[in-house]
Amino acid sequence: MYDSTDSCGGDQDPGTPGADQGLPESGADQDPSGSTAGQAPQPNQGPEEVRFLVDSTAGKLVRWLRLLGFDSTYSEQAADYRLVHRARTEGRIVLTRRRSAAALPWGNAVLLESDRLDDQLTQIARCYAMPGRPMTRCSLCNALLEDVSGESVRDIVPPFVYKTASGFSKCLGCGHVYWQGTHSSRITERWKTLWELAGSE
């Protein structure tokens, strides 16, 4: 397994309160998906689960992490200390390409080594020994999905999808409907490949 603490962040427990707790949050630091910050623990969140805060240097990553089931929020915050402070407050690990943000000694951040999405996902798979739970979280707003019957979404999804999909789920936050099909299988397969690749290094 991979053993570099530099590219995985040193502190595995980002939730510890520190001396920086009094810093005000910036109004400009908003999640473009509209999800609220600091969500309460959710039903299928195990104690071993880590949560991420992705910054604008790795924007594509946040959607993929959510599709893979990881609790992930997004921030366009430009000030390193505010970004890292928000992550600390929410118990999240910062994923960034910004060396200056990853270097803050009181934060918990992973400096992403590559611009390529696959490389970034592989690095995360190496750093955090979690299998992920594909298709359990909304890629748009980060809320959890619940299984629903085909009948309940019959008027929402295309007729072809209604007939052929093997299962449906709906976002508890924004109501977006997902279905089991080729796309979800590809996501699961892609993560499985990256996961196996990371484990064999």
Q: Minimum Å distance from CB 140 to Zn ion?
A: 5
When binding is defined by CB under 5 A, the residue of 84, 171, 187, 194 that contacts Zn ion is 171
Select 65 or 143, whichever has its Cβ closest to Zn ion.
143
- How far, in Å, CA of 101 to CA of 170, rounded? 35
Length of the chain equals 201
Residues sharing a CB contact under 8 Å with residue 36, sequence separation 6 or more, in sequence order: none
Stretch that binds Zn ion, among 10-18, 69-77, 90-98, 175-183 (CB under 5 A): 175-183
Q: Minimum Å distance from CB 144 to Zn ion?
A: 9
Task: Pick out residues in 105-164 that bind Zn ion (CB under 5 A).
Answer: 138, 140-141, 143
In terms of Cα–Cα distance, which of 110, 111, 29, 43 is closest to 76?
A: 29
When binding is defined by CB under 5 A, the residue of 117, 174, 177, 197 that contacts Zn ion is 174
Q: Which residue has the tokens 């449906």?
A: 168
When binding is defined by CB under 5 A, the residue of 9, 132, 134, 173 that contacts Zn ion is 173
- Could you say whether residue 172 binds Zn ion (CB under 5 A)? no
Q: List the 109-111 sheet strands across, edge first.
A: 72-75, 52-55, 93-96, 109-111
The two three-digit tokens of residue 153, written as one number: 């979404």
Q: Name the burial class of residue 174, with classes exposed (0-12), middle (13-18) and buried (19+) by CB atoms within 10 angstroms of its CB.
A: middle
Stretch that binds Zn ion, among 49-57, 68-76, 174-182, 187-195 (CB under 5 A): 174-182
With CB under 5 A as the rule, give the number of residues binding Zn ion: 8
Q: Are 138 and 171 in contact (CB under 8 A)?
A: yes
- How far, in Å, CA of 106 to CA of 140, rounded? 30
Select 68 or 171, whichever has its Cβ closest to Zn ion.
171
Q: Minimum Å distance from CB 57 to Zn ion?
A: 24
The two three-digit tokens of residue 24, written as one number: 């005000």
Q: Minimum Å distance from CB 146 to Zn ion?
A: 11
Q: Minimum Å distance from CB 60 to Zn ion?
A: 18
Q: Are 180 and 134 in contact (CB under 8 A)?
A: no
In the 8-state DSSP scheme, what is residue 15? T
Q: Minimum Å distance from CB 63 to Zn ion?
A: 12
Rule CB under 5 A: which residues touch Zn ion?
138, 140-141, 143, 171, 173-174, 176
